[in-house]
Structure 1
Amino acid sequence: MKNGAGIIEDIKPPTKIAVIRCDIVSEACPGVGCFMAFNKRSMHFKEYDENAEMVAFFTCGGCSGRRVYRLLKSLKKRGVDVIHLSSCMQMENYPKCPHIDEIKKTVEDAGIRLIEGTHH
């Protein structure tokens, strides 16, 4: 694309991000901490530039993480670059996710980059 001076510039496509969160915790948490960290590009989102987009924010579907596999197929078709596992899935003060290892493996097997954490 040419800029105002007629110089051709490379335009990097935005990084497309999705967050998987705990279905149980979603009953008490509206996700504000995850979105605040993303919007401020803080905590586990600090590596992203201003062009990054959060394109999906969904629950695992409950134990055993049954929704993750189906949704990853859809997200892959839409070009998602990275999946964050929400902080609530990994913190001590929430119910420990008994299926986190399987969920991680499902994301990794889909060939999508995985980052553990959002705002803590």
Structure 2
Amino acid sequence: MEGSLMPKVGIIRCQQTEDLCPGNTDFKVANEGKLGFAEVGPVEVIGFVSCGGCPGKRVVARAKLMIERGAEIITFASYMSKGNPIGFPCPHFESIKAAVEKKVGPEVPLITWTH
């Protein structure tokens, strides 16, 4: 890891929350290694992309691309599993998570929330 001892993370968010949430809390807790990142500690965010729209049209390709570009961990922003900030979780989250797990394999950890 060039110049950084922190793990590199790619965050996938819900496309429908892009206009409601700028991601600043995701970046803050990632940098501090808190909440969803407590088990891995502070991380370097190297990508912040959307799922591509319901039902996660581009999520697998985008996760794979972030890994090819250096992500060691894939994280799903909190809306997807917890519903933050709009109050309900993504109805496609379990199938999205399963598809990413199948594609990236067990060697790339998944974090299912940020804050």
- Fraction of identical pairs, as percent: 35
Match status 1:99 vs 2:95 = no
* TM-score normalized by the length of structure 1: 0.77
User: How many residues were matched structurally?
Assistant: 108
Equivalent residue for 2:54?
63
1:13 positional shift: 5.4
C-alpha offsets along residues 36-75 of structure 1, whole Å, 9 cap, x if unaligned? 111222111123355x311111111110111112112222
* TM-score normalized by the length of structure 2: 0.80
Question: Please, which of 94, 104, 110 is the counterpart of residue 114 of structure 1?
Answer: 110
Residues 58, 12 of structure 1: alpha-carbon distance in 2 compared, 3 angstrom cutoff: closer
DSSP 3-state at the match of 1:80 = coil
CA-atom RMSD in angstroms: 2.1
- The higher radius of gyration belongs to 1
State the AA in 2 paired with 1:53: E
Question: Please, which of 22, 30, 35 is the counterpart of residue 43 of structure 1?
Answer: 35
